[in-house]
Structure 1
Amino acid sequence: MDLFELARTGDTALLAAIDEGHDARAVNDSGDSLVMLAAYHGHEELVRALIARGADVNRANDKRLVPLAGALFKGHDGIVTALVDAGADPQAPSVLQAAQMLGRTPPG
């Protein structure tokens, strides 16, 4: 079972795997976390469930992008709200860069 593919596709089997002992803070070889992939691909309910299971909302990948930057860039406003509510840093450099590029005010 590829946990990262489950996060990309929004498959809730990911939650069962975490509940059975897989780490909600797992990262792939690019440094992408499960919550980063779910956030970037627009899976709001999965993002909220990963947060509830301890996902790190401020974990940057190897490109120094955080989940909030990915959600902001893709226009997933519900996910932006969920991440900010969970403590995501709206002042993270990649968030500020995404907001500036898109002509938007940083969230929070």
Structure 2
Amino acid sequence: MTPAPGELTQQELTEEDLAVLRSMFDLARTGDTARLAEALDAGIPVNLTNGSGDTLLILAAYHVHPDTVAALLERGADTGRVNDRGQTALAAAVFRRCERSVALLLEAGADPALGPRSALDVARHFDLPDMLALLTPGRSTAAG
């Protein structure tokens, strides 16, 4: 597959480049919003994806860092990315029961039904009525 114009292939990246890119995932996992935002503002792709299909947004949501989620969304992070396990950032936030991240993602247009393991599926499977109510405002959650 030919890379898009301006897109680098792994063969064009040095070990140092790869280490910097890998460190971005650690910043998302640990919620180091300031350093991650600085790197993104300097040109690191906001939708950077690791070998498991996890984006920075998915990792920030899963590790319960709503400030990092907000910073990524402000920089255009794609709420519709699905990782290799069929999960979205919204599904991760629902699983971790982080109301603020769920609200931020919904406000940014995240689809509760997206993915084989959607946010709605997670809320139902793990019996999270509070999360289901956030995902389906105005609907009865008893219908399941």
TM beyond 0.5:
yes
Higher relative contact order (CA 8 A, sep 6+): 1
Cα deviation digits, residues 67-94 of structure 1 (max 9, x gap): 0000001110110000000000012242
Instruction: Give ranges in structure 1 of 5+ residues lacking alignment.
Output: none
Shift of 1:102: 2.3
TM-score (norm 2): 0.72
Write the letter of the residue equivalent to 1:99.
A
For the residues of structure 2 that align with 1:82 and 1:59, how far apart are their CA atoms?
16
Match for residue 99 of structure 1?
Answer: 123
CA distance in 2, matches of 1:96, 1:45: 23
Cα displacement string for residues 39-95 of structure 1 (whole angstroms, at most 9, x for unaligned residues)? 111111110110010101110001110000000011101100000000000122421
Q: Which residue of 2 aligns with 1:6?
A: 27
Question: Which ranges of 4 or more aligned residues in structure 1 deviate by more than 3 Å?
Answer: none
TM-score, normalized by length of structure 1?
A: 0.94
Greater shift in the superposed pair: 95-104 or 40-49: 95-104
Q: Name the count of aligned residue pairs.
A: 108
Instruction: State, as a whole percentage, how many aligned pairs show the same letter.
Output: 44
Q: Which one has the largest radius of gyration? A: 2
RMSD: 1.2
How far is the alpha carbon of 1:37 from its aligned partner? Answer: 0.3
Aligned to 1:34: 56
- Give the aligned residue type for 2:62: Y
Residue 85 (1) aligns with residue 107 (2): yes
